[in-house]
Structure 1
Amino acid sequence: MAKYRVAVIGRTGKGAYGHGLDTVWLKCDKAEIVAVADENEAGRAAAAKRLNTKSAYADFRQMLEKEKPQIVSVADRWPDCHRDMVLACAELGASIFLEKPVAQTLQQADEMVVACDRHHVKCAVAHQTAYSPRVKVVKDLIGEGKIGSILELRGHGKEDKRGGGEDLMVLGTHTFDLMRHLAGDAKWCFARIQQTGRKAVSGDVRQGGEQIGPILGDHITATYGFAGITNGNFVTHVAKDGASTRYWLEVRGTKGTIHLGFGVLPTAFLCEDPSGMFGKNKATWVEITSAGLGKPEPLNAKELDNGNILIANDLIEAIEKDRAPLDSLSDGRAALEMVMAVYESHRLERPVDLPLKNRKHPLTVM
């Protein structure tokens, strides 16, 4: 059986090749890397050697036209060119493995979704936690009623020096994507943004690093409403203590709580205590693995390429079965929309409904 022709787009010095979105194809039995594009000469040469391909281009459009790949890794972390790259891939009929965040704005993301739909190509987003075998078990436990009805999903960013607006965009996308996979689409958002202890105003808007677009604030609190009685809460600030220790998602239900980290085999524990006062009734935390509740973990994160091989294989299956990838471009857009809802709510000083009517970046019209 012929292997899929795969090309890679990276930008050395401008997001590089993301978190392994290039080398993952070397581990995929159904794929063959035929070319790489990188505008940086030294980076392009290094990538060609690393990916064992002789075809290397400075211009990604030229590569797409000449090589006609079936799948392309749009691997750079910086999202400023994601829209142009995805549209170019879609127009030539290539499916895409896309680094997050998917775009800088909802307008860009909307164009990308329309292009992929029009040209009937698949686009998978690098939200690795969504593909985790442990998260599948967590979803099954929730579906079986192990923690009852979900009351609250509580998440934080890494809360390091990026705490606030940059943390919201760079790491909040993972949190919001996971919230959606566990609780469905958010219906509304109400948020408050602070800067050095006061309400953040238009004069505080600044450009974020890695070309993520405008950002605001060093302390953000946001609440989301999901179906039924479920609320979601997200907090990020520049932490004086405990930076990077609260990057997890707590799922609290009427019968118990699940504590869940991020990654292909994230830390995951269940406590069956409806009071939420863990230990009060001698309740204990039981580890959740890919094998089930309280069972040894049979998988190795390194062998799973930190989740990228699961995404690559799922993308190929999505192509062959004509279905959406497990974490599609529409999912990536929905996570981005939860980010933009924070800014829109703060701008309007009220809750906002999702999907947002305003597709422009709220900080550009603040």
Structure 2
Amino acid sequence: MNRRNFLTAIASATASKALALPQKRRVAVIGHTGRGNYGHRLDVAWQKIENCQIVGVADASERGLQEALKRLDLSHGFSQYTEMLKALRPEFVSITPRHADQHREMMLAAIHSGARGIYVEKPFCRSPAEADEVLKAARQYGVKIAVAHRNRYHPALFQIDQLLANHSIGRLLELRGHGLGDRRGGGEDLWVLGCHVLNLFHYFAGEPRSCSGILLQDGEPLTRKDIRPGAEGLGSLGANEIHARWHMQSGLIAHYTTFAEDGSDKRGYAAHIIGTKGTISIQIDRDPVAWLSPGNPFDPASRNTPRIPITSSGLGQKETRHDLIAKVHNHALAIEDLILAVDEDRAPMCDGNQGAMTVEMICSVFESHLQGGTHVAFPLQQRDNPLDKL
């Protein structure tokens, strides 16, 4: 579905059409306590959808399984998700663990079990090769996959689209993103936090054409001795500082920087759209999610006007759809869209292809570093994690 059409629809609450369906949609939840748990509450999110019934949960941790049974009001669960999928044959599967090394196998198992829709925690998987395999299977079996980049569903994005279409910030110059700046800064930040920003780059500027980047460890280029197993099942990883640049389909250049413990008090985590007459800042998972800072970004004297919030109602307007914003944060809006995508035989708003692109953008930074910071073209020829070769 065209993003503008979808955001227009949710702004008028027509996405609630999904709730009017008479039959209960059967949902199975896959979690793994101690190995990514249930992500950002991707299990209980389904309880907020009136026409959905959670029929099963699987968790390899017995303690975690018992807690999930209480939380989801179920009497019986499974220690193996493959057994659950075989026994229950759910229509929808929620793949909730944050640890990305499990996502490929879980998604493939859900696809082969006959599921029609999958909602998966980010990052989508660990490499373009894994993404290729999952997307091929999903196409073969007609399965819709949605990825939990929930900011993509925020109705304020439609208002930003309108501002850009009206040239409200003048000529677009570049996109800039920055990491959270905590202990994860560098490689881990790029994977688990940067993926949200890269997803927004893709949203506003199209697919990347090429990437150049450098990975640094304590100020020096990353080498083999700096590689370690990444947290949260991310695979080979390193660097506590990264500088990356993508040439996007629209012609814009998008930049992402991330530093460990950068002293920013976690205030820098955002995607910025920079124009000659102002800057739009999208602050991931915050309310208001976006702000317009009027004025020439290179002339402090022209930026005396206070920044202006961008809400679902428009520039400088009070937020009136708090119910809708809550559904963005608790994933209900994304799940409703997934259900509609299955019923209407269309791609979800943030589908598997979108999730796969964030993975490829991340791996392109690693590949460029291995090639001395040179530009690497998309699609990547190297489909595995490039850091495995360092």
Partner of 1:361: 385
Q: Secondary structure at the match of 2:41?
A: coil
What is the CA deviation profile of residues 118-149 of structure 1, one whole-angstrom value per residue up to 9, with x for unaligned ones?
11010100001111111222122223322234
State how 1:144-159 maps to structure 2 within 5 Å. Answer: 144-159=166-181
CA distance in 1 between counterparts of 2:147 and 2:230 reads 21
User: Closer, same or farther in 2 for the Cα pair 1:11/1:3, shift >3 Å?
Assistant: same
AA at the equivalent of 2:348: P
Q: 2:280 aligns with which of 252, 258, 267?
A: 258
State how 1:131-280 maps to structure 2 within 5 Å. Answer: 131-263=153-285, 265-274=287-296, 276-280=298-302
State how 1:22-37 maps to structure 2 within 5 Å. Answer: 22-37=43-58
Q: CA deviation at 1:265?
A: 4.3
Richer in helix (by share): 2
What is the CA deviation profile of residues 188-223 of structure 1, one whole-angstrom value per residue up to 9, with x for unaligned ones?
111011111211112211111111111121111011
Q: CA deviation at 1:39?
A: 0.7
State how 1:84-99 maps to structure 2 within 5 Å. Answer: 84-94=105-115, 95-99=117-121
AA at the equivalent of 2:102: C
User: Closer, same or farther in 2 for the Cα pair 1:98/1:162, shift >3 Å?
Assistant: same
User: Closer, same or farther in 2 for the Cα pair 1:128/1:98, shift >3 Å?
Assistant: same
State how 1:24-173 maps to structure 2 within 5 Å. Answer: 24-94=45-115, 95-173=117-195
Q: CA deviation at 1:240?
A: 4.3
Moved more, 258-267 or 47-56: 258-267
CA distance in 2 between counterparts of 1:240 and 1:96 reads 36
CA distance in 1 between counterparts of 2:68 and 2:221 reads 45
CA distance in 1 between counterparts of 2:75 and 2:171 reads 55
Q: 2:308 aligns with which of 283, 286, 291?
A: 286
Q: 2:318 aligns with which of 296, 301, 306?
A: 296
AA at the equivalent of 2:138: C
The question of whether the paired residues in 1 share the 8 Å contact of 2:274 and 2:297 is answered with no
Q: CA deviation at 1:255?
A: 3.3
CA distance in 1 between counterparts of 2:168 and 2:27 reads 42
Q: Secondary structure at the match of 1:303?
A: helix
The question of whether the paired residues in 1 share the 8 Å contact of 2:120 and 2:148 is answered with yes
Q: CA deviation at 1:278?
A: 4.7
CA distance in 2 between counterparts of 1:102 and 1:331 reads 9
The question of whether the paired residues in 2 share the 8 Å contact of 1:18 and 1:76 is answered with yes
Q: CA deviation at 1:284?
A: 3.8
Partner of 2:26: 5
Q: Are 1:16 and 2:37 counterparts?
A: yes
The question of whether the paired residues in 2 share the 8 Å contact of 1:131 and 1:264 is answered with no
Q: Are 1:313 and 2:340 counterparts?
A: no
Q: CA deviation at 1:310?
A: 0.7
AA at the equivalent of 1:342: V
Q: Secondary structure at the match of 1:242?
A: coil
CA distance in 2 between counterparts of 1:32 and 1:228 reads 42
Partner of 1:327: 350
Give unpaired runs (5+ residues) of structure 1: none
CA distance in 2 between counterparts of 1:264 and 1:128 reads 12
Q: CA deviation at 1:254?
A: 3.3
CA distance in 1 between counterparts of 2:61 and 2:80 reads 10
CA distance in 1 between counterparts of 2:203 and 2:363 reads 19
CA distance in 1 between counterparts of 2:36 and 2:202 reads 26
Q: Secondary structure at the match of 2:27?
A: strand
Q: Are 1:342 and 2:371 counterparts?
A: no
Q: Percent identity?
A: 36
Q: Secondary structure at the match of 1:317?
A: helix
Q: CA deviation at 1:249?
A: 1.1
CA distance in 1 between counterparts of 2:353 and 2:170 reads 29
Q: Secondary structure at the match of 1:34?
A: strand
The question of whether the paired residues in 1 share the 8 Å contact of 2:148 and 2:334 is answered with yes
User: Closer, same or farther in 2 for the Cα pair 1:346/1:328, shift >3 Å?
Assistant: same
The question of whether the paired residues in 2 share the 8 Å contact of 1:186 and 1:354 is answered with yes
User: Closer, same or farther in 2 for the Cα pair 1:277/1:117, shift >3 Å?
Assistant: same
Q: CA deviation at 1:239?
A: 2.7
Q: Secondary structure at the match of 1:187?
A: strand
The question of whether the paired residues in 1 share the 8 Å contact of 2:269 and 2:283 is answered with yes
User: Closer, same or farther in 2 for the Cα pair 1:184/1:353, shift >3 Å?
Assistant: same
AA at the equivalent of 2:130: Q
The question of whether the paired residues in 1 share the 8 Å contact of 2:96 and 2:121 is answered with yes
Q: Pairwise CA RMSD of aligned residues? A: 1.6
